[in-house]
Amino acid sequence: MPIVGGLEHIMRRVSIFSLDIMPYMSIHIIVMLLIAVVPPLRNIFKNETLGAKKINHFIYGGVIFLSLIQSFFLTFWIERLHTASGVYVVNNPGIVFRLISILSITVGALIIIWLGKQINKYGIGNGISLFLLSGLLMRLRNPLLQMVRETSVLNPLKLIMGLLLFISFIAITL
């Protein structure tokens, strides 16, 4: 059963890694804001080794909770997708599909976070930042290609300046 029109693009993006690094980033920001506002959390955070471990437990617990919620709603959205001819994308919707999808998408988010931590651990770079940058670059690919096509014909100097700016942006991020 072929996927028609824009659904092909959507289905390429729907995978176990659909949530990307965003649950981690959201919870991390929330916990850091709570540390700044709630004095008992601030006291826990001040204890360097034990505090960092406790804060990481809060963050990972929050990531699992937020990933479960987001994957729950993503699963229901996937169940309602249909082709232009009205055929639903999910052949057997129901509780089994929902449970497997929710668990798979949640585990996918945790795998990305684990990979980011491994990148940090082995000194390759800041793993979370690398995942954020790669997601940004994937979204910028088509606009950048369009810019290159338009400016290379009109003004090569603008193209060179744009590419230098882009490369410097990447270098600063890393």
pLDDT at 154: 66
Distance separating alpha carbons of residues 141 and 145, to the nearest angstrom: 6
Write down the pTM of the prediction.
0.72
pLDDT at 151: 67
Check if the beta carbon of residue 89 is closer than 8 Å to that of residue 7: yes
Give pLDDT < 70 ranges for the chain. Answer: 1-13, 48, 151-154, 173-174
Mind listing the pLDDT tens digit for each residue in 38-86?
888 888 777 767 777 888 888 899 999 999 999 999 888 888 877 777 7
Q: Is the dihedral of CA 29, 111, 104, 65 positive or negative?
A: negative
Beta bridge partners of 88: 82
Distance separating alpha carbons of residues 37 and 18, to the nearest angstrom: 32
Residues constituting the chain: 174
